[in-house]
């Protein structure tokens, strides 16, 4: 089965900083990668599908890129409301696996 490895597992950055989270697949998954945001105590929400397609209502400071095995989620300017854990998920074929998560905090 294909595994997803996220890095870093956690990060602390200042408001306004550019933040980058990576997700690496153990085998190629084309563009079938999604990113979810889970705020503390809340349900995960879909941010990005197909590696780079922003969902409706998601702020434009979020962006995704990559294909094959290497993917990136970028926050161009970190805001206090972005404090959350971010998960990548592959869905090209079952089993539909999640990365282990990246916890983003404000410095």
Partner 1 sequence: QVQLQESGPGLVKPSETLSLTCTVSGGSISSHYWSWIRQPPGKGLEWIGYIYHTGSTYYNPALKSRVTISVDTSKNQFSLKLNSVTATDTAVYYCARSSAWAEPFDYWGQGTLVTVSS
Q: How many residues does the chain have?
A: 107
Of the candidate spans 19-27, 61-69, 70-78, 86-94, the one that interacts with partner 1 by CB under 8 A turns out to be 86-94
- Span from 15-23, 36-44, 62-70, 76-84 in contact with partner 1 (CB under 8 A): 36-44
| 43, 57, 60, 80: residue in contact with partner 1 (rule CB under 8 A) | 43
The answer to the question of residue 91 lying near partner 1 (CB under 8 A) is yes
Residue 57 contacts partner 1 per CB under 8 A: no
Q: How many CB atoms lie within 10 A of CB 48?
A: 23
Nearest to 94 by CA among 29, 31, 45: 29
Distance, first Cα to last Cα, the chain: 37
């Amino acid at each position: 089965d294909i595994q997803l490895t996220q890095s870093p597992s956690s990060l602390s950055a200042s408001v306004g900083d550019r933040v980058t989270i990576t997700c690496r697949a153990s085998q190629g998954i084309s563009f079938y990668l999604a990113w979810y945001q889970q705020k503390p105590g809340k349900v995960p929400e879909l941010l990005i599908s197909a590696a780079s397609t922003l969902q409706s209502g998601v702020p434009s400071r979020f962006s995704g890129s990559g294909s094959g095995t290497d993917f990136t989620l970028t926050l161009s300017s970190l805001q206090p409301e972005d404090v959350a854990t971010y998960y990548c998920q592959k869905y090209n074929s079952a089993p539909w696996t999640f990365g282990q998560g990246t916890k983003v905090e404000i410095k």
